[in-house]
């Protein structure tokens, strides 16, 4: 966790219909540069904090497609689920500066003009296979 993080972390979608609270420390905070994340988010990278699913509460009208959670009112992507974990999009936090990524995935696909996050571990692909 970043030293300036305050709990609970709160956030939500663009219109405010979906809200979340994260009550425990993030298991990890990272950035992914893979092509799937780029296309899914329409951005050059995806930044998320991963929590145990029981550490996060969600309220409001939301749905999911293939584990990717979104607001059914405005369509904003807010979270993703994988196994017993929930990923909260850093851009959906009320204070997006509350967490600092400690690793970057798929740096082999990072845009050449983006610089590495200072102090963050760098992985050519996923964490499991470097």
Is residue 60 a contact partner of residue 18, using CB atoms and an 8 Å limit?
Answer: yes
Q: Is the pLDDT of residue 117 over 90?
A: yes
Retrieve residue 36's tokens.
């799937």
The pTM of this model reads: 0.87
Q: Any idea which residue has 């609970």 for tokens?
A: 8
- In this predicted model, what pLDDT tens digit does every residue of 69-94 receive, in sequence order? 999 999 999 999 999 999 999 999 99
pLDDT value at residue 81: 94
Q: Pairing between strand 62-65 and 68-71?
A: antiparallel
């Amino acid at each position: 966790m970043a030293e300036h993080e305050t709990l609970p972390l709160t956030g939500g979608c663009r219109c405010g219909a979906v809200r979340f609270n994260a009550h425990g420390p993030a298991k990890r905070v990272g950035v992914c540069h893979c092509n799937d994340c780029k296309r899914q988010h329409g951005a050059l990278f995806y930044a998320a904090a991963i929590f145990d699913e029981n550490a996060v509460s969600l309220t409001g009208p939301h749905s999911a497609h293939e584990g990717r959670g979104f607001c059914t009112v405005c369509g904003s992507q807010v979270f993703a689920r994988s196994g017993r974990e929930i990923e909260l999009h850093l851009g959906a936090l009320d204070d997006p500066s509350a967490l600092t990524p400690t690793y970057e995935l798929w740096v082999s696909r990072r845009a050449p003009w983006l610089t590495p996050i200072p102090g963050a571990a760098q992985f050519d692909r996923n964490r499991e296979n470097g």
